[in-house]
Structure 1
Amino acid sequence: MPVVPALWEAEVGRSPPTPGQEFETSLSNVILFNPNVNDNFRFFFFFLINYLIALSCFDVLEEEEKNEKRQKLVRKKQQEAQGEKASRYIENVLKPHREMKLRKLEERFYQMTGEAWKLSSGHKLGGDEGASQTSFETSNREAAKTQNLPKPLTEFPSPAEQPTCKEIPDLPEEPSETAAEVVTVALRCPSGNVLRRRFLKSCSSQVLLDWMMRIGYHTSLYSLSTSFPRRPLAVEGGQSLEDVGITVDTVLILEEKEQTN
């Protein structure tokens, strides 16, 4: 903006500088500290300078606030992206890895305890045998009707004929592991389950049959055999466990007897 010579000379008290002449002092010093400058003009200039300074500061603060909001938004998006990435990593990598590790530990535990059968999904025992038995019974009835023969006896004894828990003697109290003359008997059932119990060597061998009855295996249908060498275990009421050869921890096989006509 060009300087008006008359206004400059009237307010400042001297002629304006010629082009190229170097200012010895700044314009603000000339206006604010020159006693020849009118007070109203000095006040107006002072107010204008402060207003411009405040306006520039406000613009700077507003820009800084915008930048801060922009940075917060960027950080929030980055945190959300990192959280989503961490969730996918946990779901797709860490969780399957932990499940596989637990499954291996479980398999190792059951293999060490001889209960590896628990690892399989299993199936219902005797399912196909039941269907075959039903078909066989139907064929027998049809043949009996044709030949006027008596019906084959296929009915099982009624529940009243089965021994009840009241008829089965109570098992002796299980001794502690630290007691003297104690043996642990492991009973491997047809289902693959292995049951363990401690007995005194002086107990009657009949207690093994009572144990069988207690867990649901009738002595008329199932028998006991030693695991190695594989031979039937002769159990008599007058003999103790030590008499029948059970002097150390032993595994016995519970197997179904062969049915004879």
Structure 2
Amino acid sequence: MASRWVVGVFLLSSIPILCLELRRGIPDLGIKDLILLCGRIFFLLATLTVVISVTTSWLKSLKRCQVYLKDEEEKNEKRQKLARKKQQDAQGEKVSRYVENVLKPHQEMKLKQLEERFYQMTGETWKLSSGHKLGSNEDVVLENASQMSFETSNREAARRRNLPKAFTRVSPPAKHPPPKKVLDLPEEPPETAAEVVTVALRCPSGCVPRRRFFKSCSSQVLLDWMMKVGYPTSLYSLSTSFPRRPLEVEGSWTLEDIGITVDTVLNVEEKKQSS
């Protein structure tokens, strides 16, 4: 292959030289001229050979580098695939262990709890027991049941013997509350009637009710009216506005007797509690 390249280069290099010589004409060539021409041709040939060899070696080395890099990339890709596969296998193994050791027991326990709750609500708790085979331990079971019933009856009888005698508690007779006093106020006279006064009560709550009375009415009617408004005589009393003094009320006195002859405003005051 190299010899073909050399022959080709030699022919290609000799063609331009021959063309130049032909353009000058065909002179008489001597031995010296022939030697000089051959030297030029061999020098050009050597130069081209060196250039070709250097270029070829450089291309080969470049190709080898490319091949080496490609091989390294393939090896790295294979290593990465292998590492990823190992990681996936390890993760899959962890997941399977977690499912077997954690998830499945938790789900089974939750299902069992739901089943127990369902049977308890439906009254079929006997389904939760494993039971026993027929004909295997029937005698033992019956014997235990009879013994337990005998012991229970004995304990019940002993408990009844130790119980104190029952007695009926006589409840005391109910005390009937005293009848409440019915407040009966006299009918309010019209405004045009004679011997009529208007009395107003200034209450602690701020309200001021007004009502008309005959001057001949009993003074006790003022206390009855105060109680009907909502202020009992055991906690509240009446007093005049000006001068401020407690109002003396008796059943035999009339309004005119206690000094209420004109329209009057009375104060409802809280009594001082004695310690």
> Do Structure 1 and Structure 2 share a fold, with TM-score over 0.5?
no
TM-score normalised to the size of structure 1? 0.37
